[in-house]
Amino acid sequence: MEQSLSYIDQLVAHGLLMETGVDGVYARSAVFEDVIARFDALITAYGSDGGAEVVRFPPQMSREEFERSGYMKGFPQLAGTVHCFMGDEHDHHDMLDLIESKGDWAKHQKQTEIVLTPAACYPIYPIAAKRGAVPPEGLLFDVMSYCFRHEPSRDPTRMQSFRMREYVRIGTPEQVLEFRASWLEKGQNLMRKLGVPMKLDIANDPFFGRTGKMLANNQREQELKFELLIPVVREDRPTACLSFNYHQDHLGGLWKLKQEDGETAHTACVAFGMERVALSLFRHHGFNVQAWPKSVREILWS
């Protein structure tokens, strides 16, 4: 029977995810959340030696900072913005009528000062910049956020709403490249211990439009993004579960993040897709966590 069900249907049948009526938006079961929590703790065990400052974000960020980030230039197709009703009683009645008649009630919604966070590291740069010059040893943050991307799909590894945990390094080019190189190693070791097959590859972000193609080519040529790919839904098209990004001085320039000598700071981040990692574990070790290999259980539940 399982063979004939799609992967999302299997996850639902086993009670790990629950449908909400919208592709890419799911409720999580206690077992699913426990796997995420265990993996979250494992990341901390691998990353806490760097003395990172822990920061946890709500799933929204400032629209002003979002505009400054250039996200709408690169990825307008993925962004989610927050609009609210700000009218009077007359507007309210009109809006309710439109909702009732399945009309276009968006005209009664006005843009607010917040948007949905597209990646967990976005809100940390303005916070870091406000603190003044980056100290000589650089900065290291441990961030996490629910993230939103408008990419509805029946593929459970492509959610609209998912958690991203990241380590973010801010400093000299040498400091941030050293950080990324060490996480390329650590990230693979961590996933190898969890017994999943993997492959590291150069990657690019899905920049929008024709200029986007050039940006993507440039990103690949300069090896700015690597992904750790694990087969989850399809053997022949593995899923990016971790990514390792070097932004050069791009974000430092946007937020005026400066070194003490006035040079623009460089930044890099390693991102863990929490749901994707959990899904990769269910894919390779089965839907029953009690029956997972002893070595994997010992690492996650010790």
Give me the least distance between CB of 231 and ligand ATP, in Å please: 13
| CA–CA distance, 231 with 223 (Å, rounded to integer) | 22
Dihedral sign (CA 246, 251, 252, 257)? negative
Cβ atoms of 241 and 191 within 8 Å: the answer is yes
Block residue for tokens 């390329």: 184
Q: Which of residues 143-162 bind ligand ATP (CB under 6 A)?
A: 149, 151, 157-159, 162
Rule CB under 6 A: is residue 63 a binding residue for ligand ATP? no
Residues paired with residue 266 on neighbouring β-strands, in sequence order: 171
Task: Tell which one of 114, 196, 269, 289 touches Zn ion (CB under 5 A).
Answer: 269
| CA–CA distance, 150 with 155 (Å, rounded to integer) | 13
Rule CB under 6 A: is residue 275 a binding residue for ligand ATP? yes
C-beta closer to Zn ion: residue 16 or 121 = 121
| CA–CA distance, 44 with 47 (Å, rounded to integer) | 5
Q: Which residues contact 106 (CB under 8 A, 6 or more apart)?
A: 83
Residue 211: Cβ-neighbour burial (10 angstroms; 0-12, 13-18, 19+): exposed
Q: How many residues bind ligand ATP (CB under 6 A)?
A: 17
Q: Which of residues 112-131 bind Zn ion (CB under 5 A)?
A: 121
Give me the least distance between CB of 62 and ligand ATP, in Å please: 20
H or E stretch at 123: none
Q: Which of residues 8-37 bind ligand ATP (CB under 6 A)?
A: none
Q: Which of residues 178-237 bind ligand ATP (CB under 6 A)?
A: 205
Rule CB under 6 A: is residue 243 a binding residue for ligand ATP? yes
Binding partner selected for residue 149 from ligand ATP, Zn ion, none, CB under the kind-specific 5 to 8 Å limit:
ligand ATP
Binding partner selected for residue 121 from ligand ATP, Zn ion, none, CB under the kind-specific 5 to 8 Å limit:
Zn ion
Determine if residue 245 is left, alpha or beta; phi over 0 gives left, psi from -120 to 50 gives alpha, anything else beta.
beta
Binding partner selected for residue 124 from ligand ATP, Zn ion, none, CB under the kind-specific 5 to 8 Å limit:
none
Residues paired with residue 193 on neighbouring β-strands, in sequence order: none
By CB under 6 A, name the binding residues for ligand ATP. 119, 149, 151, 157-159, 162, 164, 205, 240-243, 271, 273, 275-276
By CB under 5 A, name the binding residues for Zn ion. 121, 166, 269
